[in-house]
Structure 1
Amino acid sequence: MSVLLQVLHDGVTLGGGASVLYTSTVAATAVTSVAARSSDRRRDARETLKVLLGRRPSR
C-alpha cells in the first residue's frame, strides 16, 4: 500500500509541476503579445497563444 501512495504522490507532484510550467509559458507569451515593440513579435505571440490555448480562428 505504501508503494501505491508513493506513486500517487509522485504523479500528483509531476502534474502540478507541469501545470505551473504551462501557466508560466502562457503568461510569458501573453505579456509578450502586449508588450513587444515589434508588431511582428506581437503577432507571433498572439498566434502562439492561439496554439497554446487551443483557440480556432474566428469565422
Structure 2
Amino acid sequence: MSLLSAVHDGALAAGVASLLYAGTVTTAALTALLAPSPARRRAGREVLTILLRRGGSR
C-alpha cells in the first residue's frame, strides 16, 4: 500500500465519520424539536448538549 493510498483511505474514513456525526446531530435536533412529549424533547436537548459540547476548560 502506497502512502498516497493510505492518505486517501484515511480521508475517506474521516468523511464517513463526519457524515455519521452530522446525521446523529440532525436526528437529535429533530427529536428535540418534534417529539410529542416534553420528556422526549428534554432528552433530545440533553443529547444535543452532549454532542455539541465545545472544547476548553472543563
Partner residue, 1:19: 18
Alignment TM-score, normalising by the size of structure 1: 0.88
CA distance, structure 2, for counterparts of residue 43 and residue 11 of structure 1: 36
Partner residue, 2:29: 30
CA distance, structure 1, for counterparts of residue 35 and residue 19 of structure 2: 23
Moved over 4 A (4+): none
1:4 aligns with 2:3: yes
Would you say how many aligned residue pairs link Structure 1 and Structure 2?
A: 54
Deviates more, 1:2-11 or 1:30-39: 2-11
Task: Report the CA distance between 1:19 and its aligned residue.
Answer: 0.2
Partner residue, 2:48: 49
**Percent identity of paired positions between Structure 1 and Structure 2:** 46
Task: Report the CA distance between 1:5 and its aligned residue.
Answer: 0.3
Structure 2 runs not aligned, ≥5 long: none
CA distance, structure 2, for counterparts of residue 3 and residue 40 of structure 1: 52
Tell me which amino acid in the other structure corresponds to 1:48: V
